[in-house]
Amino acid sequence: MSGHVHRDDLGSRLGMWLFLVTEMVLFGGLFIGYSYMRHRYPAEFHHGGGELNATLGIINTIVLLTSSLTVVLAIVAVQRAEKKRAMAFLWTTLGLGCTFLVIKGFEWSAKFHHGLYPNAPHLATLPPGEQVFFGLYFTMTGLHGLHVIVGLSVLAVLLYWVATDRIRQDRYIHLENGGLYWHLVDVIWIFLLPLFYLAA
């Protein structure tokens, strides 16, 4: 390319929002599947929801919501040219995100111990509706977990960019976009919580 540098923050943000739309539709397909299956097996979904640990689910919700707040605070800090503070908030976000994954890991391993995972001999003895419930549970929380990991990787890169001044007071659109992605991860979880944990 030539020396011409094209910069369009509004365009970048628009592109990010469009990408978030695709993410929402991606999960939308699963939500369609969920609503159809729940309509078909209401009792089994009720019972399946009872097997999940609602307390851990709610703790994770608080963890994730707090991490969304710290991302916003990091953006504000960058806008005010408070680099150290911005980095501290981003580190906090990373820590909270990892906490979420650890709690999620405990939940999943508990389910595995109880034989409640796809293709498990124990699950196969349960009514079909509950098998579908756990199939959906692992698919949807798994895909969400994958998004948490991607989001954390993105935030780690952004943290590095803040440290190396690539993101600074007059140029923070990347951090904003990364923050938007993290909020999306958060919003999807907010839907997953009632659909699975509070279904009982």
Partner 1 sequence: MSTTHTTAAEPSYLVDTGVRKGVMAWLTTTDHKRIALMYLYAMVVFFFVGVAIGVIMRLVQLTTFQHIITAQTYNAMFTLHGVIMIFLFVIPGLPAVFGNFFLPILIGAKDVSFPRLNLASWYFFMAGAILAVLSLFTGGGAPDTGWTFYAPYSLRTGTNVSLAVFAAFVLGFSSMLTGINFITTIHRLRAPGMKWFRMPLMCWALYSTSWIQILATPIVAITLVLVILERFFGIGIFDPAKGGDPVLYQHLFWIYSHPAVYIMILPAMGVISEIIPTFTKRTIFGYKAIAFSSMSIAGVGSLVWAHHMFTSGMSGFALMLFSLLTMIVAVPSAIKVFNWVSTLYKGSIDFQPPLLFALTFIFLFCIGGLTGVMNGALALNVHIHDTYFIVGHFHYVMFGGTGMALFAALLYWFPKMFGKMYSKKAIYVSWFPMFVGFNMLYFGMLILGMMGMPRRYYVHLPQYHTLHVVATVGSWLLVLGLLIFFGALIVATFKGPKAEANPWGGVTLEWTVPSPPPLENFDVIPTITHDPYHFPQQEVES
Integer Cα distance of 56 and 31 in angstroms: 22
Instruction: Decide if residue 1 touches partner 1 (CB under 8 A).
Output: yes
**90 vs 145 by CB, closer to partner 1:** 145
Integer Cα distance of 60 and 13 in angstroms: 28
**97 vs 129 by CB, closer to partner 1:** 129
Instruction: Decide if residue 4 touches partner 1 (CB under 8 A).
Output: yes
Torsion angle defined by CA atoms of residues 147, 49, 108 and 57, in that order, rounded to the nearest 10 degrees: 60
Bridge partners, 171 (sequence order): 168
**1 vs 55 by CB, closer to partner 1:** 1
Q: Could you tell me if 68 and 92 are in contact, meaning their C-beta atoms sit under 8 angstroms apart?
A: no
Number of H helices, E strands in the chain: 7, 0
Among 186, 15, 154, smallest CA distance to 162 is for 154
Instruction: Decide if residue 40 touches partner 1 (CB under 8 A).
Output: yes
Closest contact distance (angstroms) between CB of 198 and partner 1 is 21
Instruction: Decide if residue 185 touches partner 1 (CB under 8 A).
Output: no
* Interacting positions 108-127 with partner 1 (CB under 8 A): 118-119, 124, 127
Which parts of this chain interact with partner 1 (CB under 8 A)?
A: 1-2, 4, 6, 8, 10-11, 14-15, 18-19, 21-23, 25-30, 32-33, 36-37, 40-41, 44, 118-119, 124, 127-132, 135-136, 138-139, 143
